[in-house]
Amino acid sequence: MSEEKVEKYSKRAPNKAILSEVKTYLEKQEGYTLIPKAYIQCARCGKPKSTLNRNYYKSNADIYKGYGYVPICTSCLEKKYLALMKDNDMDEKLAMYYLMMEINVPWSERVWQAVKDINAKIGRYLGIINGATHYRDITFYESDEFIYETENIDIEEAIESMEKGDTILTKKMKDELVERFGNHYTNEQLMFLNNKYRDWITRHVCEELSQEILFAEISIKQLELREARKKGSPTKEILDAMDKLMKANNVQPQTMKNGTKADGLNRLSLVIKDFEEYRPAEYFQDKKLFDDFDNIKELMKNEVLRPMKNYLTGTRDFDPRYNINDEGE
């Protein structure tokens, strides 16, 4: 079926035979995937899934009018929600707020209060939003402002932090960070310390309390190094202290455990270096003495070349070592 026919038939009234022919033509085109009407291809995982099996949440948002659903499957939304919780100190409300921001669905404090204590939060939240007519024509950026829970935030400290341009932390997170790093840091510095600490404990083995303490101390040294560089102060003492801490926790750069292949190569290179510097080959004056130390050339001549010559030419050139004289006979 030609492209001209497809264009021609597309202007006519629907016909089952024509539609079947068009479908067959399209399926043969390179890189074209024909997804059934009841299916939507998830914008996150890329898998076509049926809308009939509750794989997608319904949406009345203008931006999703062509689908009637949020074009991200329920499984992907749940995974994203959990990831946002992990990134925000397991704060469910903040995770939901950021999720609605990403899919451009209005944020409502009243709806959140209604769904915060149930399990299927995302589906229930979207269901209420879809049922409320005054939310149908607005986007996330036209909706309610986010309100921090007063039981999780120290209001006076939050106001003071905002005035200083500092980071706002929940009470729970602030208490945990102060316990780990001390109370003489700003919120921004505590977040820096926490991010570095998480990097260390996730990229290296951390099973003992002693390792946690050392990683926390290394993170503190990283903060001190950052602040010293900002001020243009010397950093040698900080770097030396950090190096000692890293060696104590066995995470110093380019360090291999004993017995590894790399360590064996390093040992061999030291032996070669020793020979080159203190026992060079030029030390031996009689070079011929070491030219064929194992007599390989003589062995080849007597045991390989001589028998081959006798066999090919008919000569009787035997190894003198094996000759038996007449007297011996």
- At 116-144, the pLDDT tens digits run 888 888 988 988 888 877 777 778 888 77
Please report, rounded to a whole number, the percentage of residues in the chain having pLDDT higher than 90.
Answer: 12
State what percent of residues in the chain have pLDDT above 70: 66
Start-end of H helices in 62-205: 74-87, 92-103, 109-115, 121-131, 155-164, 171-181, 187-203
Question: Quick one: tokens of 113?
Answer: 């209060």
Q: What is the DSSP letter of 104?
A: T
Domain boundaries, the chain: 3-34, 62-142, 155-248, 292-329
- Among 56-60, 107-111, 204-208, 284-288, name the one with the lowest average pLDDT: 284-288
Average pLDDT on 67-78 reads: 89
pLDDT for 90 equals 78
- pLDDT tier for residue 315 given thresholds of 50, 70 and 90: confident
Q: Which pLDDT score is estimated for 329?
A: 45
What stretch of H or E contains 217? helix 209-231
Of 59-63, 261-265, 272-276, 278-282, which range is least confident? 261-265
Q: What is residue 149's predicted lDDT score, i.e. its pLDDT?
A: 57
| Higher pLDDT pick, 79 / 290 | 79
Residues in Cβ contact with 241 at an 8 Å cutoff, skipping those fewer than 6 apart: 221
Question: Per-residue pLDDT for 72 more than 50?
Answer: yes
State mean pLDDT over 82-91: 82
On whether the CB atoms of residues 35 and 23 are closer than 8 A, the answer is: no
Q: Which of 202, 241, 234, 236 is nearest to 218 (CA)?
A: 241
Max mean pLDDT among 34-43, 140-149, 245-254 falls in 245-254
CB-based contacts of 124, cutoff 8 Å, min separation 6: 114, 115, 118
What mean pLDDT do residues 318-329 have? 62
Between 84 and 28, the more confident residue is: 84
Question: Given pLDDT bands bounded at 50, 70 and 90, which one contains residue 257?
Answer: very low
The chain-wide mean pLDDT, for the chain, equals: 76
Confidence bin at 258 (pLDDT 50/70/90): very low
Q: Cβ of 68: how many Cβ atoms within 10 Å?
A: 15
Least confident of 57-66, 76-85, 193-202: 57-66
pLDDT of residue 3: 55
CA separation for the pair 248, 250 (Å, rounded)? 6
Average pLDDT estimate for 239-257: 76
* pLDDT bucket at 278, cuts 50 / 70 / 90: low
Q: Which residue is it, tokens 């455990």?
A: 257
205 touches 227 (CB < 8 A) = no
Q: Phi and psi for 65 in degrees, rounded to 5? A: -60, -35
Quickly state the pLDDT bin for 160 (edges 50, 70, 90): low
Q: Are 128 and 111 in contact (CB under 8 A)?
A: yes
Angle at the Cα of 54 (from 53 to 59), degrees rounded to 5?
A: 135
Which of 137-141, 167-171, 265-269 is modeled with the greatest confidence? 137-141
